[in-house]
Amino acid sequence: MLPGLVGAQAFAELPVAAEDVVTRGDFIRAAVQVLGVSVTQSTDATDLPYQRVAQGLVPYVRAAHDKGALTMFGRDLLLARPITRGFALRIVASLTNAVGDPTTDFEDVEDGTPDARAVSVAIDKGWMHPIRDGYFGFRRILKGDEATTLLAKVSGRTPGTQVKTTKPKDDVTTQPIPTISVNFRGVSKDGMDIPKARILETIWQVINDEFLYTDRILPDEAAYKAAEAIVQSLKDPYTSFLRPVNINSLETQINGQVTGIGAQVEMRNNILTIVTPLRSSPAEKAGLLPNDEILKADGVSLSGLDFIQAVEKVRGEKGTKVTLTIRRNSREFDVTVVRDTIKVPEVEITWQGEVAIIAVLQFGKVTETELRPALVKVMEQNPKGIILDLRNNPGGLLHAASIMISNFVPKGSGVAQILARDGERTDVTEESPTIDADVPLVVLVNQGSASASEIVAGSLQDLARAKIVGTKTFGKGTVQQVLRFNDDSGLKITVAEWKTPKGRKIDGVGVMPDIVVEYSSERDEQMLRALELLR
């Protein structure tokens, strides 16, 4: 059984240490029981809009769903993943019908959102307190002692008192990702000891007892280095240990915002090149232009770095400055840019006559929630054709890719074959299309189209719904999930490989367009060919 809250003794005898993390499934069950939400005993999940709900959790998931408490999770609840402080608050706020002020003073909580309302309720009622001034800790993993205290306060009981609830017989989860407590001496799921744990502990003890230069003994740095070494031994380019600053960057990007200069960039001839500065961004205000090449950041050469490494050198905290060495038309000069929080325009819709051009820059939360309504409006204008521009789209959320595909094909159409440790499944679309089947579709791709972009292109190609135009895609056919730990570090880990609905392998191969057209900076030949096909 994965560590977490068990509803049977939510306050009296929490079956995990105070520092252990709590899973989504166990928190949902405990919250429903402790707060006295009405539960039906049916374990039939066919009426629920979620994937892979363990039989024993179905009554509690249904009760929480009926209260609107699970809207932030999407179609796949991932019940074995750790629950964050913020999502726990949103659940209990919904279960108790509590409504808060939509404005907050916390940098990690966006005003006007359900997140902000839940945090306001928690502060007003004393359910939970911020980590520090100006920072609530919304995305921090909830620990056992915090979960116990939270449910006690919400229910009006004193922490530590017995609450009589019934533990279900079926306590099995079907989720593939284990929740792991963050400590260097512990034991992971199913009793698998950390390799050479005694040797590692002995080395650390000797260092603390004997090493001469005590000022060089840095516990956090040592732990992070060890974690990085463990992950690097897997030799998987997409599995990585994320230090706090890196996981924050990843999460904010997926949520539709980043902190940096505000420019869409790509690697051209191994040089980080600006495709376009975003509107009203620091990059635009500093006078940066399309096709500017970024050679250095604060004097550090970007030569030899991969795309992610180079981008991280340019990004940084809001309000900080970065001096970029720019090459423009063979002339080199320095530009200083003040970084800011940038709203990533995931979807941009323009028109060329009667042809709608839908440019998707990444598959994040914005695409997941706002794309379908936008395409309904596109269809209302009776387009002669649609161009879906996925060039230089690095991917993002698998569910967002599924939503994209659902706009163009019948409900139940294949999205991808997913191969994971717990078996193989085929994901299918869950919504009816917004675009009529007789509206022709062209998808633009290039070597910068990766991951979720390739899922969309590969699926629409297999289903014969679109013509794919451009150059072969990147070839990233694996799925990653992110675990966030109590100290704000995290683990991005490969958990599955996907293939197209017809079983074509993408990882290391890519999607080959139906019509190969090379890009020209003088004229966008790829776009012109797409328009030609639709006119």
Bridge partners, 323 (sequence order): 336
Tell me which of 305 and 323 has the higher pLDDT: 323
102, 198 Cβ separation under 8 angstroms: no
* pLDDT at residue 100, as a whole number: 85
A 10 A CB-CB count for 140 gives 20
In this prediction, residue 250 has a pLDDT band, given cuts at 50, 70 and 90, of: low
Bridge partners, 267 (sequence order): 272
Q: Which 3 state secondary structure label does DSSP give 529?
A: helix
List pLDDT tens digits, range 164-206. 333 333 322 222 222 222 332 333 344 456 788 888 888 998 9
Rounded Cα distance between 383 and 357, Å, is: 10
Mean pLDDT over 385-410 rounds to 91
In this prediction, residue 257 has a pLDDT band, given cuts at 50, 70 and 90, of: low
pLDDT surpasses 80 at 6:
no
45, 167 Cβ separation under 8 angstroms: no
Tell me which of 165 and 376 has the higher pLDDT: 376
Rounded Cα distance between 156 and 408, Å, is: 50
What residues contact 298, with CB distance under 8 A and at least 6 apart? 313, 322, 323
List pLDDT tens digits, range 44-62. 888 899 887 887 889 999 9
In whole angstroms, how far apart are CA 435 and each of 115, 210, 385, 394, 414?
32, 70, 10, 25, 17
In this prediction, residue 8 has a pLDDT band, given cuts at 50, 70 and 90, of: very low
Q: The domain 258-343: what is its CATH number? A: 2.30.42.10
In this prediction, residue 22 has a pLDDT band, given cuts at 50, 70 and 90, of: confident
- The CATH architecture one would assign to domain 347-534 is Alpha-Beta Complex (3.90)
Tell me which of 344 and 67 has the higher pLDDT: 67
* pLDDT at residue 189, as a whole number: 42
Q: Please name the residue ranges forming H helices in 9-113.
A: 24-34, 58-66, 85-95
**Lowest-pLDDT choice from 74-83, 173-182, 288-297, 310-319:** 173-182
* pLDDT at residue 131, as a whole number: 87
Strands 490-499 and 257-260: unpaired
Tell me which of 396 and 256 has the higher pLDDT: 396
Report, as residue numbers or ranges, the catalytic residues.
Answer: 451, 462, 476
Residue with the two structure tokens 């049977």: 8
pLDDT surpasses 90 at 470:
yes
Residue 28: half-sphere exposure toward Cβ, Cα within 13 Å: 31
* pLDDT at residue 176, as a whole number: 29
pLDDT surpasses 90 at 108:
no
* pLDDT at residue 308, as a whole number: 63
Domain ranges for the chain: 7-155, 194-233, 258-343, 347-534
pLDDT surpasses 90 at 299:
yes
Rounded Cα distance between 355 and 345, Å, is: 21
Average pLDDT, the chain: 82
Q: Which amino acid is present at 197?
A: A
* pLDDT at residue 252, as a whole number: 53
* pLDDT at residue 521, as a whole number: 67
pTM of the model: 0.57
Helix-strand-coil split of the chain, %, nearest 5: 30, 20, 45
